[in-house]
C-alpha cells in the first residue's frame, strides 16, 4: 500500500482540524436546537462543580468525571459555559491529534489514513450525537469522545505497524486511553478493555501488556491523589445504583432488537463479516479478540441514547487494513479480499446518514440565525453564551392521557390497560409529559416556587428526571442528589421540600419516584398545590 509522507499528512490533517473547529469557535457561543434537557443537566453538573462539589462524592452521576473535567477547567479559567464546552472539545481533540497521526502513519495507507484521522477527530469536535435526525447539540458529548478514543485504541492493537514495533510506547498509550474510557463512561471500558488487552498481548506480548497496565495504574493513582480514595467507591456506588434501578436499565431499543432488529441487523452482519475476516487472517488470540468486538459494540450501542451504531464508522478501517490479498483466502466460497471490500462499503452506507449529520453539525451551528435564540439561563445565573431556540424554549407542547382525566373519555381508561393514576399524599397526578418548552417549564415552576416563601437555602428534591429548578428559584439542590434522576431517592435524606410537577419533564420517571416516595417511610406535609405543582415539606 502507498504511504503518506509524514509531514504532508500532518499538515493536511492539521488544516482539517483547524477548519473543522473554527465554525464552532467563531460563533461566539453555543447555539443548540435539540436536547435542551440534556444541556440543562450538563449545566447543573458544571454549576455544582464550580461551587466546589465533586462528581460522585457530592452528587450522583454514573458518567465519569472526565466527561466534565475539561469543561470545568475552562470555566475555572474564566470562560462562560458555552465557550467552555467548545474549548473543551478542542482541548480533547488537541490531546488526541498526535496519537491519531501516529496511528495513521504507522499503520494505514493514504486514503484509509485520512479517513480514519478525519472521522476520529471529527467525532471529537462535532456538535451532534449522531443518528439521521438529530440537530445541533452538545448532548452525549462523552459518547463522541469515547468513540474517538475507541477507534484509536483498536487501530493500535489490531493493525500491525508497517516497520518498527514499539511495544512499551504503544502499550503505555493504549493503557492511558483505556483508563480515559473508564473515566468517561464505564460502558466503553467494560466492553472494550478485555478485547484491547487480548489484542495488545497478541501484538506486543507481555511487555506491551505490562506497559498498558502500568499506565492505567498511573492514571488511577493520579486521580486518587487528586480526588481521594473515596472517589472510586463513590463512582462504583453510582454505577451500582443505576444498574439496579427501573428507570434507565437501557435508553432506547432492547438488546435483541439492537442485535437482530430490522434497523440494526445489517450492521450486525457487517460486524460478523469483519470478525471472520480478522479471525481468518490474524493469529489465534487476535482473532478471538475480534470476535469479542461484536458483542462489545452491540452492548455500547444498546447503552447509548439513540442507539446510533457509531462503530460502523470504524469498520472500513479495520476491514481494509487487515484484508488479505486477492486469491489468498476464501470465506464461504468467496474471496476474503472481496468480502472485506463489500463489507467496508456496506458499513459506510449504513452509517452514512449519521456521518453526514455529524459532519455538518459545526457548519449548521455557524449558520444559525441568532435572532431566533435566547439564553438558556436567567441573567442572574450568568453564562449567557449558551442559547436555545426561542420556539423550542417556549412552545408548550405536551402529551397527555385524556382517558385518565375526569370527563367523557374516562370511560375508556380500563380498556387500554394503562397504569393506574398515581396518588401521593392525597394529590392525584394524571399522565402529562412536556414535548417542548424546557425553559418555560423551569422558569414558570421556578417563579411559582419563589412565591411559596420557603426559608432561605431550602433544599429541593424534584420528583422528575430533570432537577435544574434551582437555576430559576431561590432553592438549593440536596447534598448527594442527582442532577438527572437515576433512582433510589438519592439526596432525599438531605432534602427540606419535595416538588412534584403536575406536568412532568418525563412523566414515567415522576411516577416511579412517587412510588418510591410512598414506600420510603418518610412523612410529608402538603404545603402548596395548584395547577403547576404540588410541594411537600419533609418532616424530620
**DSSP track, 481-505:** --SB--STTTTGGG-SEEEEESSBS
| pLDDT for 370 | 94
Number of CB atoms found within 10 A of residue 160's CB: 14
Whose cell is 445565573? That residue is 381
Identify the DSSP state of 538.
Answer: E
* pLDDT per 10-residue tile (average), the chain, 540 residues: 74 96 94 94 96 95 97 97 97 98 95 96 96 90 98 96 91 98 97 94 93 97 96 95 73 85 92 85 77 92 92 94 85 85 94 95 95 94 94 94 88 86 94 93 96 94 94 94 90 96 94 94 96 96
Q: How far apart are CA 234 and CA 411, in angstroms?
A: 49
Identify the DSSP state of 360.
Answer: H
Q: Work out the angle between the directed axes of helices 284-303 and 265-281 (0-180°, nearest 10).
A: 160
In a 10 Å sphere around its CB, with 0-12 CB exposed, 13-18 middle and 19+ buried, how is residue 255 labelled?
middle
Q: How far apart are CA 331 and CA 314, in angstroms?
A: 22
How far CA 73 is from CA of 144, 186, 209, 329, in Å, comes to 19, 22, 32, 52
Q: How far apart are CA 441 and CA 532, in angstroms?
A: 9
| pLDDT for 398 | 95
Whose cell is 466527561? That residue is 67
In a 10 Å sphere around its CB, with 0-12 CB exposed, 13-18 middle and 19+ buried, how is residue 51 labelled?
exposed
Identify the DSSP state of 539.
Answer: E
Identify the DSSP state of 310.
Answer: G
* Segment (H or E) for 389: strand 386-389
> Helix (H, G, I), strand (E, B), or coil: what is residue 524?
strand
Q: How far apart are CA 134 and CA 117, in angstroms?
A: 24
Q: How far apart are CA 458 and CA 461, in angstroms?
A: 10
Residue 55 contacts residue 49 (beta carbons within 8 Å) = yes
Residue 136: name the closest of 92, 82, 207 by CA. 82
Query: What is the radius of gyration, based on Cα positions, of the chain?
Result: 25
Identify the DSSP state of 328.
Answer: T
Which residue(s) pair with 527 in the sheet?
none
Identify the DSSP state of 411.
Answer: G
Residue-wise burial string across 116-128, b where 16 or more C-beta atoms lie within 10 A, e elsewhere: bbbbbbbbbbbbb
Q: How far apart are CA 84 and CA 73, in angstroms?
A: 8
Instruction: At 234, list the grid cell.
Output: 463513590
Residue 534 contacts residue 500 (beta carbons within 8 Å) = yes
Q: How far apart are CA 126 and CA 110, in angstroms?
A: 24
Q: How much is the pTM?
A: 0.95
Strand order across the 30-32 sheet? 30-32, 386-389, 373-375
> β-strands 460-462, 373-375: how paired?
unpaired
Instruction: At 21, list the grid cell.
Output: 473547529
The sign of the torsion formed by the CA atoms of 44, 49, 53, 59 equals positive
Q: How far apart are CA 488 and CA 454, in angstroms?
A: 25
> Helix (H, G, I), strand (E, B), or coil: what is residue 301?
helix
Q: Work out the angle between the directed axes of helices 36-50 and 69-76 (0-180°, nearest 10).
A: 60
Q: How many alpha carbons lie under 13 Å from residue 160 in its C-beta half-sphere? A: 13
Residues in Cβ contact with 176 at an 8 Å cutoff, skipping those fewer than 6 apart? 215, 216, 218, 219
| pLDDT for 433 | 96
Residue 278 contacts residue 287 (beta carbons within 8 Å) = yes
> β-strands 386-389, 533-539: how paired?
unpaired
| pLDDT for 282 | 73
Question: Which ranges in 3-109 belong to alpha helices (H)?
Answer: 6-26, 36-50, 69-76, 81-107
* Segment (H or E) for 217: helix 186-227
Amino acid at each position: 500500500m502507498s504511504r503518506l509522507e509524514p509531514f504532508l499528512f500532518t499538515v493536511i490533517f492539521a488544516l482539517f482540524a483547524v477548519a473543522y473547529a473554527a465554525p464552532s469557535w467563531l460563533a461566539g457561543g453555543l447555539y443548540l436546537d435539540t436536547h435542551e434537557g440534556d444541556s440543562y443537566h450538563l449545566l447543573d453538573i458544571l454549576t455544582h462543580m464550580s461551587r466546589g462539589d465533586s462528581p460522585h462524592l457530592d452528587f450522583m452521576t454514573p458518567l465519569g468525571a472526565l466527561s466534565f473535567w475539561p469543561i470545568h477547567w475552562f470555566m475555572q479559567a474564566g470562560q462562560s459555559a458555552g465557550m467552555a464546552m467548545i474549548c473543551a472539545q478542542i482541548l480533547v481533540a488537541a490531546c488526541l491529534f498526535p496519537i491519531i497521526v501516529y496511528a495513521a502513519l504507522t499503520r494505514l495507507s493514504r486514503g484509509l489514513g485520512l479517513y480514519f484521522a478525519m472521522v476520529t477527530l471529527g467525532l471529537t469536535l462535532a456538535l451532534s450525537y449522531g443518528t439521521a435526525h438529530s440537530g445541533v447539540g452538545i448532548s452525549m458529548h462523552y459518547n463522541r469522545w469515547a468513540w474517538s478514543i475507541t477507534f484509536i485504541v483498536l487501530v493500535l492493537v489490531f493493525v500491525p505497524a508497517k516497520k518498527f514495533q514499539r511495544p512499551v510506547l504503544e502499550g503505555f498509550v493504549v493503557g492511558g486511553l483505556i483508563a480515559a474510557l473508564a473515566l468517561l463512561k464505564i460502558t466503553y471500558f467494560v466492553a472494550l478493555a478485555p478485547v484491547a488487552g487480548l489484542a495488545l498481548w497478541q501484538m506486543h506480548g507481555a511487555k506491551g501488556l505490562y506497559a498498558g497496565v502500568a499506565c492505567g495504574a498511573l492514571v488511577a493513582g493520579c486521580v486518587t491523589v487528586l480526588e481521594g480514595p473515596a472517589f472510586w467507591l463513590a463512582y462504583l456506588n453510582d454505577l451500582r445504583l443505576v444498574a439496579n434501578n427501573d428507570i434507565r436499565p437501557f435508553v432506547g431499543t432492547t438488546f435483541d432488537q439492537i442485535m437482530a432488529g430490522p434497523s440494526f441487523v445489517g450492521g450486525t452482519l457487517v460486524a460478523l463479516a469483519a470478525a471472520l475476516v480478522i479471525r481468518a487472517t490474524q493469529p489465534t488470540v487476535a482473532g478471538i479478540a475480534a470476535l469479542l468486538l461484536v458483542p462489545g459494540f452491540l452492548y455500547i450501542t444498546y447503552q447509548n441514547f439513540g442507539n446510533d451504531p457509531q462503530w460502523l464508522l470504524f469498520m472500513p478501517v479495520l476491514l481494509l487494513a487487515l484484508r488479505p490479498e486477492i486469491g489468498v483466502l476464501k470465506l464461504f466460497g468467496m474471496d476474503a479480499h472481496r468480502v472485506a471490500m463489500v463489507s467496508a462499503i456496506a458499513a459506510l452506507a449504513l452509517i452514512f446518514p449519521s456521518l453526514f449529520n455529524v459532519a455538518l453539525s459545526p457548519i449548521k451551528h455557524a449558520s444559525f440565525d441568532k435572532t431566533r435564540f435566547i439564553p438558556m439561563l436567567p441573567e442572574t445565573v450568568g453564562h449567557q453564551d449558551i442559547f436555545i431556540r426561542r420556539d423550542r424554549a417556549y412552545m408548550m407542547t405536551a402529551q397527555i392521557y385524556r382517558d385518565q382525566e375526569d370527563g367523557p373519555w374516562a370511560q375508556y381508561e380500563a380498556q387500554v390497560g394503562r397504569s393506574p393514576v398515581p396518588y401521593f399524599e392525597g394529590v392525584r397526578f394524571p399522565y402529562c409529559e412536556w414535548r417542548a418548552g424546557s425553559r418555560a417549564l423551569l422558569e414558570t415552576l421556578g417563579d411559582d416556587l419563589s412565591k411559596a416563601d420557603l426559608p432561605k437555602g431550602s433544599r429541593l428534591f424534584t420528583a422528575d428526571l430533570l432537577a435544574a429548578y434551582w437555576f430559576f428559584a431561590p432553592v438549593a439542590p440536596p447534598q448527594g442528589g442527582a442532577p438527572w434522576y437515576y433512582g433510589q431517592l438519592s439526596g432525599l435524606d438531605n432534602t427540606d421540600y419535595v416538588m412534584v410537577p403536575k406536568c412532568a419533564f418525563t412523566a414515567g420517571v415522576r411516577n416511579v419516584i412517587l412510588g418510591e416516595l410512598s414506600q420510603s417511610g418518610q412523612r410529608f406535609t402538603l404545603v402548596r398545590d395548584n395547577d403547576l405543582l404540588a410541594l411537600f415539606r419533609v418532616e424530620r
